[in-house]
Structure 1
Amino acid sequence: MRTSALLSLALGTVSVLGGPITSRSTYSVKGSHPVPEGWRQVQRAPADHIMELRIGLTQGDFAGLEKYLTQSSNPNHPQYGKHLLIDDVHNFIKPSKESSDAVHAWLYENGILAEDIDYTPAKDWIKVKMSVADVEDLLDTKYHTYRSDDGRTAVRTPEWSLPRHLHDHVSTIQPTNSFFGPRTQARMDRRKTEAIADMEDIAEYLPPPPDAATVDAVCNTTWVTPLCLRTLYGTVDYTVQAADKNTMAMNDFLGEVSLRSDTELYLQSFRPEALAAAQEFTQISINGGTVQQTPLNETQLEAQTGIEGNLDDQTMIGVAWPTPLVIYSTGGSPPYIPDLTTPENTNEPYLVWLEYVLSLPDPLPSVISTSYDDDEQTVPKDYAIQVCNALAQLGARGTTVMFASGDAGVGTDGNCYTNDGRNASTFLPNFPSTCPYVTSTGGTMSFNPEVPVFRNRTSGLYTGGGGFSYYFDTPDYQKAAVQSYLAKTGVAEKYAGLFRPDGRAYPDLSGQSLNYTIYWNGTLRPVSGTSASTPAVSGILALVNDALIAAGKPTLGFLNPLLYGGLAQAFNDITTGSNYGCGTEGFPAVEGWDAATGVGTPNFKQILALLGVGEKDGNWGSW
């Protein structure tokens, strides 16, 4: 490795303390995580392959940030709604001088040049580009190239080490042993992927005259339209009041695209008054993320690229127009890399996206919708905690962070085994839904009443995700609801050993998620998934924020304490059905919160009434 003069850093000059500190004898394993099922080692990683190493320093006072987040999200606390500004958040999470000095001294001893180092704004992450050979020396490990069954490749190592004195100063380092990456949820009905629908095919389901806009008149389970969603959840007659002060956002990963041409066709068909929005949404490319607006090529058509991106943006605009939409397109973890020996984008994109968004000035979008997740056990626990802590920072700044709960119920049949060498049967919770600082969105279907979504194997098995985390404990805000659910259902005894009853439980709420009508590649297609319910509910919450802003009140921010603290009364409770998976019936829906549909689906007018910005419908009592 290279040598250099003493590092002169933005944090100040770092002194090398007490002579050499990085001899091999002082190293011990800091991080270890098994290679997930479906990934296989192919060959040693090229020694000259360059990766951007991200060193996560122990944050100075995350406990203080968490306490403030809890208070500012509790409707019964004096701090409620007093969201933090960016500098306030940085003051909580910036590492201590002791941690910063120790890590920089170690880098200096290993010849890292000052000009090679970059930082996140709070300096809780150090970023440095290095060759595989140098990273192997730095972390006392060996990297290999791995390939997944679905064609992804990654340069990773299952185990890495640090000098023992640094273990308390470094929370995680990536890319090392995390195979975690976004997994899209949107899916077309297999029976209809070859059939091109046109407007004549669904003419009977198009918007009727306004005076006939009842749920029975405008909703059909075969083709769910924006008018159906707006009528079902009560936003159809709401007029946006604060479009100049409120924004909503969504994420595109995995090379996904949101095509204006398709959105224009969608709005022309289903919400013509919003037609201009197809050309007005903002696209931001992060780390080379695609913002393509040209026709899909043959490879993209084969991969159905754009199904997810189009579903998300068309749904959010269709529900919440004219609230402005921002789309973050983040590169990383592509589904296919043609040259196995030179993999691209060694970092998974969640962290790259979070670094970008958390560096933005205030105010951030009031709601951010993400329709991706992965099995929790593919993520090293230390890394999951670090990503989750970053999501907490978004909540502290007043953003409601929404994630899809997944589309395989409690786990995909045939894959429900632990990844710790025991190969024991287990349910498979999804991350980031298991992070206690996000709002996880499950799926429903049918109308009057709604039930947990279920599609049989003939057309592609699909049931909404839900379950309990192995990494995160049940947060205080949902303990009463979860304990009541366990007592009512007896699932802890029925599924003993398959899940952790004292884990963070999800989903938190739900929405329609079967057969959304979208345009893709110029044609109408039915698309399903919790990646449909997530942008739909996100759009509804953006409208709630619009009403709050217009009334001079703060935005919802981190929603869960409010949701479990009383706002659940304004949701339509789902009481029958379950979320199948792992060869079981999964978790049943019951009265109150459940691990299939959360607290239920939103009733917009009742939400506004309970928040004091709409007409009351019934006696809601106190929080």
Structure 2
Amino acid sequence: MRSTIVFAMAATLLGLVKASPLQSRYVVKETHRVPREFTRESDAPGHALMRVSVALKQSRFEELERHLYEISDPDHARYGQHLSTSEIHSLVAPSAESQDLVRAWLEEHVHPSTISSSPAGDFLTFTLPVSSIEKLLDTKYSVYRHEDGSKLIRTDEWKLPLHLHEHVRTVQPTTSFIRARPQSKTFLNVPGSVGCRPEPYKGPSGGGVDQVCNASAVTPLCLRTLYGTVNYKPRAAGRNQIGLANYLGELNNRSDTAIYLSTYRPDAVKGAQEFRQISIANGSISQAPNTPAQLRAGTGIEGALDVETMIGISYPTPLLAWATGGDPPFTPDADNPTVDNEPYLTWVNYVLEQDFVPQVISNSYEDNEQTVPHSYASVVCQQFAQLSARGVSILFGSGDGGVGGVQPGGSCLSNVNNRTAFIPLFPSTCPYITSVGATVGFKPEVAAYDPKNKFASGGGFSNYFPQPKYQREAVEEYLDTIGDQFSRLYNKSGRAYPDLAAYGVNYTIIWNGTLRLVDGTSASTPAMAGIFALLNDALISHGRPTLGFLNPWLYKKGRKAFTDVTSGSAIGCNTSGFPATEGWDAVTGFGTPRFDKLLKAVGL
């Protein structure tokens, strides 16, 4: 025993000795060009507090990735054998050397009692004034104003002692200008609806799509009929759950949800009061009426779309809604910048610490990949891999600007060389999540485009993440079909998205007590989440594991359960964008689901 202790102490001392004066000198760890939508305004106020996360190198992530692909491959002997939390922690825990060296450095600047650690030890988090963080990272923070008037405190470069470069993956907030934006386009001028409760279109009971669907106002009955879930009766509610994520001020209002469900799905109206809400980093779960400022900003429109669509499709499957804010709390005004945490990292790290997580989670937020530093994107993506390995299906909307980014009319200019390019979106470019595009029309469905607001379903190819093996064959077939069209505008070898699609135009919602219509992959994504939640319900009720990470199954066998979409395109950047074709395509993936075929595809 004594010899073991002596050896451990010697190893620790050896690791610390490695940091020679030359190695301890600060060297640039990361530089990221400021997105053109931001303009430097001033030096950052030194007293402003920021909550900083230091991501340490995970010792065995490659092994975790191997496990993930094995348990997600329907032809592998381990299919469905999802990993436990303790198994994941053992795979991602940093080496003792990494932990000792990074802590020794931090404790020169931060009191040890104020540093919190993730369960696996791969994240160390603390709060400091900006002036202290500048010393910690040998950098200078500035206030940057976005073209919409909002502000952030960020830097375009930060440093670490040389001996720590191999042990630290990223430190944030630093160079990330990500603005998690909901992918929904809203019309507020619904004829006869403003100030009034809705008078819904009611098709005959048991009718087909022609009888129950109205393209000008899409309801849960329409979606359930279109995709074949209308007669399915959930049997595993409780054991099976569904989740949604809100970020930075978005809300889920129970009163609006109750009005919606009483109108469009009366048997599910209890769901308005039953869904759980959890606040992360001071995220708002308020049920108070919106303030005038919130009404002007449309706060709660995205939240209404998510919660009303998901309960409308998957009830009585229990719903959990997270609201992730900034930490520490900060109230922006005209003169003070917003000091916030990176929302995806804050959310996923919290969820990874929980004993139970809903088996399907819908995220309706994206940002242009080029606004996200590669280090940050990689860290968040690897955290998603951990969640997927636990048996969770993580869905993200593929974007509303076609090939042009998160917003119609985006600049379509690369941050790297200032040339015209298709702009991929993160997190859709992460290979460990499932990206959902949007369609419009019933017979047939086509890739979504709405001329009223220029909404076009997003699709593209990552500039950060290589194309995963599971999709290589399908993507190669697509590239052979479209040939050299647009070849100079995107990275053919990148992770391609979306993976599948669902209807995404003219969804009915209730917001602020009245009827609104919403377009977006923010609509198709919660709808798809609801459908997969029902499929998991069927699996659980038959004693089977849930689907977990969908993509390996989808590209190998699940694709047969989807209706191919072969018309339309991901319009953007003054081009027609990627076209829908037979087979997988970069605007609708494998197409839209059919529940009876999904049941057959999973062997039920």
Q: TM-score, normalised by structure 2?
A: 0.95
Superimposed CA distance per residue, residues 442-495 of structure 1 (whole angstroms, 9 cap, x where no aligned partner): 000000110001011xx21100000000000110000000000000111xx121
Q: Identify the residue that residue 480 of structure 1 maps to in structure 2.
A: 473
Contact 1:150 1:335 in 2 (8 A): no
Q: Identify the residue that residue 381 of structure 2 maps to in structure 1.
A: 388
Contact 1:206 1:218 in 2 (8 A): yes
Pair 1:187 & 2:185 matched? yes
Superimposed CA distance per residue, residues 363-411 of structure 1 (whole angstroms, 9 cap, x where no aligned partner): 3111000000100000000110000000011100000000000000000
1:149-228 residue pairs with structure 2 within 5 A?
149-189=147-187, 192=190, 196=194, 198=196, 202=200, 205-210=201-206, 213-228=207-222
Contact 2:49 2:339 in 1 (8 A): no
Going from structure 1 to structure 2, the CA distance change for 1:195 and 1:269 (only over 3 Å counts) comes to closer
Q: Identify the residue that residue 530 of structure 1 maps to in structure 2.
A: 521
Pair 1:453 & 2:448 matched? yes
Letter in 1 for 2:221: L
Moved more, 144-153 or 242-251: 144-153
Superimposed CA distance per residue, residues 324-381 of structure 1 (whole angstroms, 9 cap, x where no aligned partner): 000000103999820534x4443121111111100001x3111000000100000000
Q: Identify the residue that residue 26 of structure 1 maps to in structure 2.
A: 25
Q: Identify the residue that residue 5 of structure 2 maps to in structure 1.
A: none
Could you tell me how far apart the structure 2 residues matched to 1:584 and 1:79 are? 44
Could you tell me how far apart the structure 1 residues matched to 2:65 and 2:353 are? 19
Q: Identify the residue that residue 71 of structure 1 maps to in structure 2.
A: 70
Pair 1:573 & 2:573 matched? no
Going from structure 1 to structure 2, the CA distance change for 1:606 and 1:168 (only over 3 Å counts) comes to same
Letter in 2 for 1:125: F
Q: Identify the residue that residue 4 of structure 2 maps to in structure 1.
A: none
Q: Among 460, 465, 468, which residue is 1:467 paired with?
A: 460
Pair 1:81 & 2:69 matched? no
Shift of 1:192: 3.5
Could you tell me how far apart the structure 1 residues matched to 2:413 and 2:54 are? 31
Q: Identify the residue that residue 254 of structure 1 maps to in structure 2.
A: 248
Q: How many residues align?
A: 591
Contact 2:388 2:432 in 1 (8 A): yes
Structure 2 counterpart SS, 1:28: strand
Going from structure 1 to structure 2, the CA distance change for 1:262 and 1:552 (only over 3 Å counts) comes to same
Pair 1:293 & 2:248 matched? no
Going from structure 1 to structure 2, the CA distance change for 1:324 and 1:22 (only over 3 Å counts) comes to farther
Structure 2 counterpart SS, 1:537: helix
RMSD: 2.0
Q: Identify the residue that residue 245 of structure 1 maps to in structure 2.
A: 239
Going from structure 1 to structure 2, the CA distance change for 1:200 and 1:262 (only over 3 Å counts) comes to closer
Superimposed CA distance per residue, residues 524-565 of structure 1 (whole angstroms, 9 cap, x where no aligned partner): 111111000000000000000000000000000000000001
Contact 2:203 2:213 in 1 (8 A): no
Pair 1:146 & 2:144 matched? yes
Contact 2:437 2:502 in 1 (8 A): yes
Structure 2 counterpart SS, 1:365: coil
Contact 1:410 1:467 in 2 (8 A): yes
Letter in 2 for 1:329: A
Contact 2:395 2:435 in 1 (8 A): yes
Structure 2: gaps spanning 5 or more residues: 1-8
Letter in 2 for 1:170: V
Letter in 2 for 1:81: G
Could you tell me how far apart the structure 2 residues matched to 1:300 and 1:117 are? 35
Shift of 1:496: 2.2
Letter in 1 for 2:133: V
Structure 1 counterpart SS, 2:81: coil
Q: Identify the residue that residue 616 of structure 1 maps to in structure 2.
A: none
Contact 1:152 1:336 in 2 (8 A): no
Shift of 1:322: 0.3
Shift of 1:209: 2.3
Q: Among 515, 521, 533, which residue is 1:542 paired with?
A: 533
Contact 1:208 1:218 in 2 (8 A): yes
Structure 2 counterpart SS, 1:340: coil
Could you tell me how far apart the structure 2 residues matched to 1:234 and 1:318 are? 14
Contact 1:247 1:325 in 2 (8 A): yes
Q: TM-score, normalised by structure 1?
A: 0.92
Structure 1: gaps spanning 5 or more residues: 1-10, 614-623
Structure 2 counterpart SS, 1:236: coil
Pair 1:425 & 2:420 matched? yes
Going from structure 1 to structure 2, the CA distance change for 1:61 and 1:25 (only over 3 Å counts) comes to closer
Contact 2:39 2:144 in 1 (8 A): yes
Could you tell me how far apart the structure 2 residues matched to 1:429 and 1:19 are? 41
Could you tell me how far apart the structure 2 residues matched to 1:373 and 1:193 are? 30
Could you tell me how far apart the structure 1 residues matched to 2:251 and 2:465 are? 33
Structure 1 counterpart SS, 2:27: strand
Q: Identify the residue that residue 270 of structure 2 maps to in structure 1.
A: 276
Shift of 1:20: 6.9
Contact 1:364 1:398 in 2 (8 A): no
Letter in 1 for 2:150: R
Contact 1:160 1:176 in 2 (8 A): yes
Could you tell me how far apart the structure 2 residues matched to 1:378 and 1:145 are? 16
Contact 1:415 1:582 in 2 (8 A): yes
Structure 2 counterpart SS, 1:524: strand
Contact 1:402 1:438 in 2 (8 A): yes
Contact 1:82 1:554 in 2 (8 A): yes
Going from structure 1 to structure 2, the CA distance change for 1:22 and 1:544 (only over 3 Å counts) comes to farther
Shift of 1:285: 0.5
1:385-424 residue pairs with structure 2 within 5 A?
385-411=378-404, 412-413=408-409, 415-420=411-416, 422-424=417-419
Letter in 2 for 1:406: G
Letter in 2 for 1:419: N
